[in-house]
Chain A
Amino acid sequence: DTAVSQTPKYLVTQMGNDKSIKCEQNLGHDTMYWYKQDSKKFLKIMFSYNNKELIINETVPNRFSPKSPDKAHLNLHINSLELGDSAVYFCASSQAPRRDYGYTFGSGTRLTVV
C-alpha cells in the first residue's frame, strides 16, 4: 500500500517534447506538493494545492502546469522540455497546510532530457 505514488519512476525524453508525471496519495491528506531536486540534491518547491486549490506557485516557467482533478491527485505537465529540466521531481502530501505537519514524499520521478 504505497502512501504517495508517482508514475513514471524514470522518464527519458527529447528536448521539445511534452510530458506528464502523475501523483496519487491514499492518505486522505488535503494538501499536495511538487518539489524539484537538482543534481546537487537541493530541493525547491514548485507548487502546492490544498483541496484542489492552488496555494503556492513559486517562480516556475509557464511550461510547467500542475493539475489537481481531486484532492488525492496532483499531476505535473511540462511543455517544450529543455535540458535544464533534467532533475528528480518529488510529489508530497500533508494532512493540512499547518506548521506542525510534515510531508509524506513519493519515491520520485527521474526526468532526463536529451
Chain B
Amino acid sequence: GNSVTQMEGPVTLSEEAFLTINCTYTATGYPSLFWYVQYPGEGLQLLLKATKADDKGSNKGFEATYRKETTSFHLEKGSVQVSDSAVYFCALKEGAQKLVFGQGTRLTINP
C-alpha cells in the first residue's frame, strides 16, 4: 500500500539556519504530495502541495519539489524563525483515496 517516511525528529536548529526535512514515499500510481504543519494545540494546516512530477510547492518561505525519480518531497527553508517551531507532516494522496501521513517531524528553533 501507499506509505510516507519522514526523517526522525526532533530537529533542533538555531534561528536563521537552513532547514531540510526529508520525506520519501511509496505509491502504486501518481500521487499528489503535501506538507502540513501543526502548531502546538492546533489542528493541521496545509503548508504546500505538488500534484505532478517536477512541480515545486512553496509557501511562507518553505519549498518542496516533487521528485519522481527519487520518490521524494523534501521540505526546505533558507532561514528559519522561532515561529516555525511546530510538527511537520508529509502526506500523499492517490486518486480519490485517503490522505496518508508520515509520522511527523518535530522542529524546534532556538533564538
Residue numbers of A with Cβ under 8 A of B are: 4, 33, 40-43, 45, 48, 55-56, 90, 92, 97-108
Contact = CB atoms under 8 A, between A and B. Distances in A.
A13 to B, nearest CB: 20
Nearest to B95: A99
Contacts, number: 63
B44 interface: yes
Interface residues of B, number: 28
Contacts of A104: 46
A33 B94 CA distance: 16
> Chain A's interface: helix, strand, loop or mixed, by majority?
loop
B67 to A, nearest CB: 18
A79 to B, nearest CB: 24
B64 to A, nearest CB: 13
